[in-house]
Amino acid sequence: MQNNTIQLNTPFRLNAHVCIKNRLFKSAMSEQLATEQHDPTLGLVTLYRTWAAGGIGLCMTGNIMVDRDALGEPKNVVLDEQSNLELFKRWAEAGTENNTQCWAQLNHPGKQIPNFITKEPVAPSAIALENGLEKGFNVPRALDEQEIWEIIGKFANSALLAKKAGFTGVQIHAAHGYLVSQFLSPRHNRRDDQWGGSLENRMRFVLNVYHAIRAKVGTQFPVAIKLNSADFMKDGFSEEDSMQVVSALSDAGIDLIEVSGGTYESPSMMGHKTSTKTREAYFLDYADKLRATTNTPLVVTGGFRSAKGMAEALNSHATDLVGLARPLAVDPDLPNKLMADNQYKMVLRHLTTGFKTIDKMAMLNITWYEHQLERIAKNKAPKANLSEWLSFAKTIYAAGRYAFRSRRA
Ligand SMILES: Cc1cc2nc3c(=O)[nH]c(=O)nc-3n(C[C@H](O)[C@H](O)[C@H](O)COP(=O)(O)O)c2cc1C
């Protein structure tokens, strides 16, 4: 029988400079709550104040785009020289209330940009997305050397602005099939220059993004990464590749590694393929293997629902923090409840309109949760029984026909 010496409310010392007040980590959820100029709205401020009050230890923002010309979704936040930094300051201030760490997730979507947003997305190589995504996403153009360095500079620039705004750390989004992940994947990166081919070349982009950020934010500011355990696609980024990338990033000094998996083509992060049958989180078996090879702090995200499952994962030492996304959209006070009752369990109901095609077309697994975020942003309580049909109708109303083009896995 396992001795649970680590509790959910046990603080975690990340390094000499940062201590996280408990083991609960809010994973990024793209909020779709930006202004037309792609600045944070006051609704976003309310949402993060609510999460901070709910007891979360480390709260990751939804993905913030580093390049204004490369949005993954229509209402993404962008952080660059044109941004209104005062609004970002209010957002960071709310997110760090109650001694909460609030970090900014930085992303570039690469070719995972729907074609109603951009006709010609960029990527490491001109290779189309498959698995039914051909209609919604155009074939990308391969980046040239100068453009690659420009994007690396944009990541670093956004990180510095995030620090100036008052976020207490940043995370590079290198998972889920976006640009950094495209560079890592032999399926998507077929370049024959220094950025492609061998794993050493494929990881050059992420390592340069990391070093460029570090050079701007200094050694004491936390820099994390969200990385796929694998892409779960033929000829894609494998577990073996991922372990070597973790090793290189650990050597380079990354502060925290969040483990996820999958891409738009194969959305394993939402649990459609799991790496384990016996534990409630999807990527714990992979994290066990990682733990044997690195001392860098780890957070596993995907599938955690019960205080018991979370405590078991922490005490197995597979992970240092517990990543939670969808449960926090339905109950922002969940961290306080989990820490108060070690039998607490959240049940998320299976979302369906009864018609699989509509569920897929409406991306219920994303849009239904976005509607909960929108409610919290308006100071309303989330609605666990929000009807799938109502969510579907709201999606049509908000975005018309574009709503039914593939957006995100
Ligand atoms: C509405 C929504 C938006 C998401 N946006 C992001 C994002 O911006 N960045 C990211 O890394 N993951 C994003 N994810 C994935 C989550 O961070 C997480 O990996 C996934 O939901 C599995 O965790 P869960 O089972 O706790 O929900 C999103 C998920 C949802 C439901």
CATH of the domain at 27: 3.20.20.70
Is 7 within a domain?
Answer: no
Is 213 within a domain?
Answer: yes
Query: Which residues neighbour 109 within 8 Å (Cβ) at sequence distance 6 or greater?
Result: 65, 70, 71, 72, 121, 178, 179
Q: Which one, of 74, 102, 101, lies nearest residue 88 by Cα?
A: 102
117 lines ligand 1 (CB under 6 A): no
Distance 30 CA to ligand 1 centre (A): 7
DSSP letter (8 states) at residue 88:
H
Write out the chain's pLDDT in tens, 409 residues.
456 799 999 999 999 999 999 999 999 999 999 999 999 999 999 999 999 999 999 999 999 999 999 999 999 999 999 999 999 999 999 999 999 999 999 999 999 999 999 999 999 999 999 888 888 899 999 999 999 999 999 999 999 999 999 999 999 999 999 999 999 999 999 999 999 999 999 999 999 999 999 999 999 999 999 999 988 888 899 999 999 999 999 999 999 999 999 888 888 788 755 445 567 899 999 999 999 999 999 999 999 999 999 999 999 999 999 999 999 999 999 999 999 999 999 999 999 999 888 887 778 889 999 999 999 999 999 999 999 998 888 877 776 645 455 555 4
Specify the residue with its C-alpha closest to ligand 1, atom 2: 29
Is 4 within a domain?
Answer: no
Total domains in the chain come to 2
Residue 32 sits in the same domain as residue 60 = yes
Residue 363 sits in the same domain as residue 236 = no
- The answer to whether the Cα torsion of 356, 374, 108, 399 is positive or negative is positive
Is 6 within a domain?
Answer: no
Specify the residue with its C-alpha closest to ligand 1, atom 12: 28
Is 3 within a domain?
Answer: no
**Cα distance between residue 348 and residue 403, in whole Å:** 24
Residue-wise DSSP of 31-66? ---B-TTSPBPHHHHHHHHHHHHTT-SEEEPSPEES
Distance 29 CA to ligand 1 centre (A): 5
**Cα distance between residue 281 and residue 260, in whole Å:** 10
Between the two ends of the chain, the Cα-to-Cα distance in Å is 38
Residue 21 sits in the same domain as residue 132 = yes
* Domain endpoint, select from 347, 362, 395: 347
Tokens describing residue 60: 């990751």
Half-sphere exposure of 113 (CA within 13 A, CB side): 28
Is 391 within a domain?
Answer: yes
28 lines ligand 1 (CB under 6 A): yes
* Domain endpoint, select from 332, 347, 362: 347
Residue 343 sits in the same domain as residue 363 = no
211-220, Cβ contacts within 8 angstroms, sequence gap of 24 or more: 211/252, 212/152, 212/153, 212/155, 212/156, 213/155, 213/156, 213/159, 213/170, 213/172, 214/252, 214/253, 215/156, 216/156, 216/157, 216/159, 216/160, 216/163, 217/159, 217/160, 217/163, 217/170, 219/253, 220/17
Tokens describing residue 43: 């609704």
CA diameter of the chain:
57
Residue 331 sits in the same domain as residue 382 = no
With beta carbons less than 8 A apart as the criterion, state whether 52 and 96 touch.
Answer: yes
Residue 142 sits in the same domain as residue 259 = yes
140 lines ligand 1 (CB under 6 A): no
With beta carbons less than 8 A apart as the criterion, state whether 70 and 113 touch.
Answer: yes
Counting from 1 in the atom list of ligand 1, the atom nearest the Cα of 63 is 8
65 lines ligand 1 (CB under 6 A): no
Is 2 within a domain?
Answer: no
Residue 342 sits in the same domain as residue 396 = no
Is 24 within a domain?
Answer: yes
Is the pTM higher than 0.85? The answer reads: yes
212 lines ligand 1 (CB under 6 A): no
- Residue whose pair of structure tokens reads 């044997």 in the numeric block: 292
104 lines ligand 1 (CB under 6 A): no
402: exposed, middle or buried (C-beta count within 10 Å: 0-12, 13-18, 19+)? middle
Q: Report the length, in residues, of the chain.
A: 409
- Residue whose pair of structure tokens reads 């939804």 in the numeric block: 62
With beta carbons less than 8 A apart as the criterion, state whether 275 and 285 touch.
Answer: yes
Residue 392 sits in the same domain as residue 316 = no
Residue 241 sits in the same domain as residue 226 = yes
**Cα distance between residue 150 and residue 221, in whole Å:** 23
Residue 156 sits in the same domain as residue 178 = yes
Tokens describing residue 149: 């360095």
161 lines ligand 1 (CB under 6 A): no
Distance 27 CA to ligand 1 centre (A): 6
Distance 146 CA to ligand 1 centre (A): 31
Distance 240 CA to ligand 1 centre (A): 24
Specify the residue with its C-alpha closest to ligand 1, atom 5: 29
* Domain endpoint, select from 303, 330, 347: 347
Distance 190 CA to ligand 1 centre (A): 28
Residue 357 sits in the same domain as residue 217 = no
173 lines ligand 1 (CB under 6 A): yes
Range of the domain at 106: 12-347
Residue 295 sits in the same domain as residue 255 = yes
Counting from 1 in the atom list of ligand 1, the atom nearest the Cα of 176 is 11
382 lines ligand 1 (CB under 6 A): no
Residue 180 backbone dihedrals phi, psi, to 5 degrees: -60, -40
